Structure 1
Amino acid sequence: MRRVLLLFGLFLAACSGPSLVVVGEGVPPAPAIPELEVLIIDNAGDPVPDATVNFGDLDRADTDDRGRAASEWPRRGLTISAAAPGFHDGAVDVVELPETRVVELALEPIVLNGVVRTSDGHGLPGALVSLGERTAVTDHSGAFSIERATPGTVAALKTAYHDAAAEWDGAAPRIDLALEPRMIRSIRASGPVVGDPERWSELLELAETTEVNAIVVDTKDESGRVFYDTAVTTAHEIGAVSVQYEPSEVLADLRERDIYSITRIVTFQDRYLGAAYPEHSVWDAGTNQSWTTGGGQIFMDSTDPGSWEYPLALAEEACSLGYDEIQFDYVRFPTDGPVDRAVYDGPSDQAGRVTTISSFLTEARSRLNPMGCAVAADVFAVVFSASGDQGLGQRVEELADSVDVISPMIYPSHYSTGWFGFECPNANPGAVVASALDDGMPRVTGPAIVRPWIQDFTFGCGDPYGATQVREQIDAAEQRELGWILWNAGSYFTETALDPAE
């Protein structure tokens, strides 16, 4: 009976149709499931790695270094969404599998906007703003934008200012910061003094034991001498190098003591450069040769761009060496000589002069601020009290938008009888400094810090200068919340005029 049933079963199986198994052939593969790849890009078309991609509610994957993630195609439409730190979420509907099997999704970056200002409300250019690893530099108005912003600490810093920071929760559309200027109390060291170990040690000790927290070191002086073995070839070609010190050692001394470092570069007065390149100097229409001051010094023609590159090259090198601040002295037109015979390549009327000097300083700041250095300009004190540029090309209003620091040279001995109502201005040092600053400060309409040079030497009418006279000037500056720099040609300073270190 079993045999009958088995035969009947075999008969039915044979009659039911072709067998799924054919002797001599393999099992056919299952149909491949297509794969959908998603490319996540930013608004510039660059790939976004580490974005999280959701393939509807079916799958989730992170993008690789190429901004790509993949998943099986579900054979029906779906919504693909993506999220990445620093970006707004994005999504795209995919109705059918594209021929390329690749879908692009561009994410819009989260942008944090803001402004960095000075403590008195001026927009501060050249400040470095950071948020995590993202950075930006403020523009001429102090504004900044940081793309791909994520919540965290927003910090702003700029040389010559104290740092500032604020927390950003990711929701506020903007954040503003204000920076307070550092109170710089400085002395100045000439090149030969810096190169004299005993004298240099004395100045360092003065800074360590008193309120002094900065030193101005001469890179290039009034004669045109450069005081170290510079890599700027022009200095060697014209014979201007007079090695007195090694900058790396000087800067190491200053950093070790947390002393703010400033270097002084005499800009357009230069007998070495003028002798080597008279075509770039101010020309004398009377003598048909380089024009000279009453003291026989050659001035370079500041309206000739050819005269700019040498001092700017020295400035860039000084900044790269590690100085905090680059100070340009003699950044002006000459006034102490036969100016009626002076011939310039460019306009030399007041408008031309002011434009020339402010343009040079703006160029210097555009190069040096991104390198991390503040830019300062020494100016004649008379421009703080008198209208116009006084033939110098220096006007407070333009300078305030061209540099980080303005240093008027307010030496009471340089004022003649009658200034500020005094028979002998030099005998009234505190009042002279106060009056000059009060004249000029309202005209500082830009973000520049004012830090005056003041007198620590005896010259002219009145009593010899000592602790009382120097302190009066310091107090006049500090009562206006300003720092100061002491000038003495030999770098000898009145220690008893200085407060002890805190």
Structure 2
Amino acid sequence: MHKRIMISRWIVWSLSLLCLQPVASATADTLAVTVVDAATHAPIAGATLVSGDLAWISGRDGGIALPDTTPGAPMAVSVRAPGYARVQASIGAGAHETVAMTRLRPKAIYLSVYGIASRTLLDAALALPARTAINAVVIDVKGDRGMTPYRSHAREGIGAQAYVPANAPRVKNLPALVKSLHDRGLYLIARIVVFKDDPLARAHPEWAVRDAEGNVWRDREQLRWIDPTISAAWAHNLDVAEEAARMGFDEIQFDYLRFPDTPGLEFHETNTAEHRVGAITGFLSAARERLLRYNVYLSVDIFGYVCWNLNDTAIGQRLETLGEQVDYIAPMLYPSGFTWGLPGYDPPTQYPGEIVSRSLAQAMRRTGLPGVRFRPWLQAFRDYAFDRRNFGAAEIRAQIEAADAAGTDGWMLWNPRNRYEPTTLPR
């Protein structure tokens, strides 16, 4: 399995190098496209242009040479680049055309399955853009307890839906809601909880994580997990991701894309760092391939300490392996989550801005990636680990200012109750 993944990644890397060379002008059998910033007209390197099941990457000059497979007929394309809104365009035959992209920095709130299905919580969320800087929403497409806010054929087809409560929250027509949110100018991120999936593990116990005695393991919430080393189990989450892409979400965000942070568990493959990292990057590689035709942005949530730990934190998340797989890395930089603190910042809840600033600087230094490749999760909930302080305007804004200073692609606010006070948010 891992050999195939490594070969696939080598091919993508090699093609990227080829595409980064200067692109020639259009010829009789090619179309020349240049991708530029709409405001500055500067070329955008590394933009991904997709047509059907094929993709090209723009070079340093923003140029791409496409084969003219249908002379005289326009070619429908989709273009994405980190830090920009996706562009749908029609490329004319034989002409040298320009695709202009508009910068976009999502400033998001989170809505759970319950939040998106609640008229009260949804209306409160939709009132925020007029009063604050909020311009994006992260929506649970598959949440922490395996529930989906819509009728998922993927969940039904694999038997997982049978283990979801009959009264689980449901949006009557999620694709229509997605369209209405887009009509409001919102950027929409589909959050998919991957390996923490109690209904799927109940439907397929052969895929479940086991304890040392061989029994199906449950976490502190008594929820079962899927074994990340069983690639046959990946396909279902990719089916859910494809459902979200077809509904029109701008970005697919994978959460709980990791091994359980509990020692002594048993997996299908030996529990080594190599196997753990291989499973996580393998899943993301498969996701890129499956979702190519939709040209959605991909992101992955990671523990805050992953920015600091040089190993895989024993959960398969090694920072340096993620940048080539996704558009955005989303570290969860909640000060309350830094249980062991950071040197000089103890307790971390007293230094929310510094926790965000230092963690992002560390992540950028280690990966060599610019700030625009990161979009952090920020804390908008009461502390649970140190002094129980409420995270109000001062704490939230300190985190936001730190993210802005690092040049990130915006930020996301996490509140499990889905309640956001406008006075705590920037305008």
Normalised by the size of structure 2, how large is the TM-score? 0.79
Aligned Cα root-mean-square deviation (Å): 3.5
Which secondary structure does the structure 2 equivalent of 1:364 belong to?
A: helix
Which secondary structure does the structure 2 equivalent of 1:244 belong to?
A: coil
Show structure 1 runs of 5+ residues with no match: 1-85, 89-108
Deviation per CA, 1:34-61: give whole Å up to 9, x if none. Answer: xxxxxxxxxxxxxxxxxxxxxxxxxxxx
Using the alignment, how far apart are the partners of 1:265 and 1:290 within structure 2?
A: 23
Using the alignment, how far apart are the partners of 1:362 and 1:115 within structure 2?
A: 25
Structure showing greater radius of gyration is 1
Q: 1:147 aligns with which of 36, 56, 67?
A: 67
Deviation at 1:406, TM superposition (A): 1.0
| Contact 2:110/2:418 (8 A) holds in 1 | yes
Deviation at 1:259, TM superposition (A): 0.3
Deviation at 1:362, TM superposition (A): 1.4
| Fraction of identical pairs, as percent | 29
> 1:356 matched to which residue of 2?
279
| Contact 2:141/2:190 (8 A) holds in 1 | yes
> 2:307 matched to which residue of 1?
384
Q: 1:138 aligns with which of 41, 56, 78?
A: 56
Q: 2:151 aligns with which of 205, 210, 229?
A: 229
More RCO (CA 8 Å, sep 6+): 2
Are 1:282 and 2:209 matched, yes or no? yes
> 2:252 matched to which residue of 1?
326
> 2:356 matched to which residue of 1?
433
Using the alignment, how far apart are the partners of 1:236 and 1:407 within structure 2?
A: 28
Deviation at 1:446, TM superposition (A): 5.9
> 1:238 matched to which residue of 2?
162
> 1:458 matched to which residue of 2?
382
- Going from structure 1 to structure 2, the CA distance change for 1:183 and 1:240 (only over 3 Å counts) comes to same
> 1:253 matched to which residue of 2?
180
State which drifts further: 189-198 or 466-475. Answer: 189-198
Deviation per CA, 1:168-204: give whole Å up to 9, x if none. Answer: 9x899xx998967621100001111211112211101
Deviation per CA, 1:325-379: give whole Å up to 9, x if none. Answer: 11111000111x3x21x22122431111111101101111222232132111111
| Contact 1:215/1:261 (8 A) holds in 2 | yes
Deviation per CA, 1:249-298: give whole Å up to 9, x if none. Answer: 32133112110111111100111111121111112232x22122233221
State which drifts further: 235-244 or 265-274. Answer: 235-244
Structure 2 matches for 1:175-194, cutoff 5 A?
182-194=104-116
Higher helix proportion, which one? 2
Q: 2:123 aligns with which of 201, 206, 213?
A: 201
Deviation at 1:416, TM superposition (A): 3.1
Structure 2 matches for 1:17-416, cutoff 5 A?
88=28, 109-110=29-30, 112=32, 123-124=46-47, 126-128=48-50, 137-138=55-56, 144-148=64-68, 157-158=79-80, 161-162=84-85, 182-232=104-154, 233=156, 234=158, 237-240=161-164, 242-245=168-171, 246-286=173-213, 288-335=214-261, 337=262, 339-340=263-264, 342-416=265-339
Using the alignment, how far apart are the partners of 2:45 and 2:277 within structure 1?
A: 22
Using the alignment, how far apart are the partners of 1:400 and 1:137 within structure 2?
A: 18
Using the alignment, how far apart are the partners of 1:466 and 1:304 within structure 2?
A: 42
- Give the residue type in structure 2 aligned to 1:458: R
Deviation at 1:222, TM superposition (A): 1.2
- Give the residue type in structure 1 aligned to 2:386: C
| Contact 1:137/1:144 (8 A) holds in 2 | no
Using the alignment, how far apart are the partners of 1:402 and 1:488 within structure 2?
A: 27
Which secondary structure does the structure 2 equivalent of 1:253 belong to?
A: helix
Deviation at 1:380, TM superposition (A): 0.5
- Give the residue type in structure 2 aligned to 1:146: L
- Going from structure 1 to structure 2, the CA distance change for 1:116 and 1:139 (only over 3 Å counts) comes to farther
- Going from structure 1 to structure 2, the CA distance change for 1:179 and 1:445 (only over 3 Å counts) comes to farther
Normalised by the size of structure 1, how large is the TM-score? 0.68
- Going from structure 1 to structure 2, the CA distance change for 1:418 and 1:312 (only over 3 Å counts) comes to closer
Using the alignment, how far apart are the partners of 1:374 and 1:415 within structure 2?
A: 28
| Contact 1:361/1:402 (8 A) holds in 2 | yes
Show structure 2 runs of 5+ residues with no match: 1-25
